[in-house]
């Protein structure tokens, strides 16, 4: 029996279609730059938002109307949600999903009990995988909801909490492996502090390094070959989080000898909270060889929290895809809709439609980004801007042939230096043209 009976199968109908349950831009098999859209975009549904989010806010209860609202037994609800996820991803042609351990099965009174519930739902997911095309992009552990994690997990001041978190992550990696997960994510939701007055920061970050080495060792031991990913976020729920942004994580990974084992999962709204553009975060990850995956959403520049909106901003989706294309694709990563409909968009139909809209926005972004690359004008302007490094003194500096003394001799009698224009507005117009032509 269908869980989302009123949601039809969604296909590509093209620009002229007014059917809300059709793609206007996302045409899975259409080739863009020698690769199909579906292989470029690797969309994923986030279990925690799409199945679990009741769409409450600090001032109001949940508004979401979902097919399991009439049920009360937690395991029965968990089963119906898992069936619902496979049905909806299949109907929407979303090839992947992501989950936290506690999203998919209720927590018991001991870890043993929680693991038992988890195993039961993971078995169901495995059998649903056999009947559906939906694959697992990544799994992760929820180390932030339960009160035991109030001061963090791997960075808790309490060693008992560290031990519990390690045991929980061990199991989460195992179930991710069982479901064929291509990655495993660490989002340090409460790995950080509220006040340095009560915090031994060095010890906490050292312990995070220890925790990650245990994870790397265990993955190796059980033969889990999925990519480990850190997801930066500067704050919320904790005031200051250790995984602040891509640059901060790079410092941590290098300092603790983890750089060969961990890449990054970059989320648009987290970039906003860190007062970076999404392009900055993706670019930082890419040029350092650690761009792994994307949590595709968008924030609100007027609000200081993680609103997790579905992506509709074409400038953002274009620049995300520009970085992804320059990265040679996302490899084992994907575009995970870590996004929820607005509280006022409460129906199951809204839930389906918001995914369709996000997919179309990324298909448009992909096409525009490919145009930017094919057209080459943007890159030509950048190359021209750095042309002085290609020959003469620039080349000699980059070849390591110069010193302060030799450069003094070079510069000392030079007349005024001339620069070439940065042409920012022309570049912005080129971007406009790629999106709107």
Give residues in contact with ligand XLS (CB under 6 A): 100, 140, 185, 187, 231, 233, 267, 295, 306, 338
Contact yes or no for 312/284 (Cβ under 8 A): no
- Which range in 71-79, 80-88, 267-275, 364-372 contacts Ni ion by CB under 5 A? 267-275
Residue number, 32 or 172, with CB nearest to ligand XLS? 172
**How far apart, in whole angstroms, are the C-alpha atoms of residue 128 and residue 126?**
5
Q: Does residue 267 touch Ni ion according to CB under 5 A?
A: yes
Q: Binding residues for Ni ion, how many (CB under 5 A)?
A: 4
**How far apart, in whole angstroms, are the C-alpha atoms of residue 357 and residue 52?**
20
Q: Does residue 306 touch Ni ion according to CB under 5 A?
A: yes
Choose the contact partner of 140 out of ligand XLS, Ni ion, none; CB within 5 to 8 A by kind.
ligand XLS
Residue number, 99 or 162, with CB nearest to Ni ion? 99
SS (H, E, C) 271-327: HHHCCCCHHHHHHHHHHCCCEEEEECCECCCCCCCCCCECCCCHHHHHHHHHHHHHC
Residue number, 191 or 267, with CB nearest to Ni ion? 267
Q: What are phi and psi of 63, to 5 degrees?
A: -115, -10
Residue number, 100 or 367, with CB nearest to ligand XLS? 100
Residue number, 193 or 337, with CB nearest to ligand XLS? 337
Handedness of CA 304, 306, 310, 311 (dihedral sign): positive
Residue number, 155 or 241, with CB nearest to Ni ion? 241
Ramachandran quadrant class, 100 (left: phi over 0; alpha: psi -120 to 50; beta: rest): beta
Q: Does residue 295 touch Ni ion according to CB under 5 A?
A: yes
Instruction: In angstroms, give the least distance from the CB of 57 to Ni ion.
Output: 15
Binding mask of the shown chain, residues 314 to 343, with x at each position contacting Ni ion by CB under 5 A: ------------------------x-----
Of the candidates 227, 74, 206, which has an alpha carbon nearest to the alpha carbon of residue 140? 227
Catalytic residue status for 100: yes
For 109, 117, 300, the CA distances from 176, given in Å and listed in that order, are: 22, 15, 32
Residues present in the chain in total: 437
Bridging pattern class, strands 291-295 and 240-241? unpaired
Q: Of 25, 49, 101, 103, which is the active-site residue?
A: 103
Q: Of 25, 100, 270, 280, which is the active-site residue?
A: 100
**For the chain, first and last CA: distance in Å?**
45
Instruction: In angstroms, give the least distance from the CB of 239 to ligand XLS.
Output: 14
Instruction: In angstroms, give the least distance from the CB of 427 to ligand XLS.
Output: 31
Catalytic residue status for 103: yes
Q: Does residue 103 touch Ni ion according to CB under 5 A?
A: no
Number of neighbouring beta carbons within 10 Å of residue 305: 14
Choose the contact partner of 353 out of ligand XLS, Ni ion, none; CB within 5 to 8 A by kind.
none
Instruction: In angstroms, give the least distance from the CB of 46 to ligand XLS.
Output: 7
Of the candidates 135, 105, 132, 177, which has an alpha carbon nearest to the alpha carbon of residue 45? 135
Choose the contact partner of 182 out of ligand XLS, Ni ion, none; CB within 5 to 8 A by kind.
none
Cite the active site residues: 100, 103
């Amino acid at each position: 029996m269908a869980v989302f009976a009123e949601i039809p199968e969604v296909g590509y109908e093209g620009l002229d279609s007014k059917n809300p349950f059709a793609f206007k831009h996302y045409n899975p098999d259409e080739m863009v730059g020698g690769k199909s859209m579906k292989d470029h975009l690797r969309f994923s549904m986030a279990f925690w938002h799409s199945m679990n989010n009741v769409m409450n806010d600090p001032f109001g209860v949940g508004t979401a109307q979902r097919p399991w609202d009439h049920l009360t037994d937690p395991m029965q609800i968990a089963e119906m949600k898992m069936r619902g996820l496979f049905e909806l991803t299949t109907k929407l042609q979303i090839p992947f999903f992501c989950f936290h351990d506690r999203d998919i099965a209720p927590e018991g009174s001991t870890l043993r009990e929680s693991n038992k519930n988890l195993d039961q739902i993971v078995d169901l997911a495995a059998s649903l995988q056999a009947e559906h095309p939906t694959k697992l992009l990544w799994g992760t552990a929820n180390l932030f909801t339960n009160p035991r994690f109030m001061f963090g997990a791997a960075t808790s001041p309490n060693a008992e909490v560290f031990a519990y978190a390690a045991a929980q992550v061990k199991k989460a990696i195992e179930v991710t492996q069982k479901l064929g997960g291509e990655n495993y994510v660490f989002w340090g939701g409460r790995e950080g502090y509220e006040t340095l007055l009560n915090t031994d920061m060095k010890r906490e970050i050292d312990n995070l390094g220890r925790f990650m080495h245990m994870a790397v060792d265990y993955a190796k031991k059980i033969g889990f070959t999925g990519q480990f990913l850190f997801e930066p976020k500067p704050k919320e729920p904790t005031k200051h989080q250790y995984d602040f942004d891509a640059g901060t994580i790079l410092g941590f990974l290098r300092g603790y000898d983890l750089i060969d084992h961990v890449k990054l999962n970059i989320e648009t709204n987290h970039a906003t909270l860190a007062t970076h553009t999404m392009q900055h975060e993706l670019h930082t990850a890419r040029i350092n060889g650690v761009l792994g995956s994307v949590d595709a959403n968008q924030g609100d520049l007027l609000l200081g929290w993680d609103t997790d909106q579905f992506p509709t901003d074409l400038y953002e989706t274009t620049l995300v895809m520009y970085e992804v294309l320059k990265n040679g694709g996302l490899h084992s990563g994907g575009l995970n809709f870590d996004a929820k409909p607005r509280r006022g968009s409460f129906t199951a139909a809204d839930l389906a439609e918001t995914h369709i809209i996000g997919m179309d926005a990324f298909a448009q972004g992909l096409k525009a980004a490919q145009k930017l690359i094919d057209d080459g004008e943007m890159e030509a302007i950048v190359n021209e801007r750095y042309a002085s490094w290609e020959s003469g003194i620039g080349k000699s500096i980059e070849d390591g042939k110069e010193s302060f003394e030799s450069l003094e001799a070079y510069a000392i009698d030079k007349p005024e230096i001339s620069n070439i224009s940065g042409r920012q507005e022309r570049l912005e117009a080129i971007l406009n043209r790629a999106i709107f032509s």
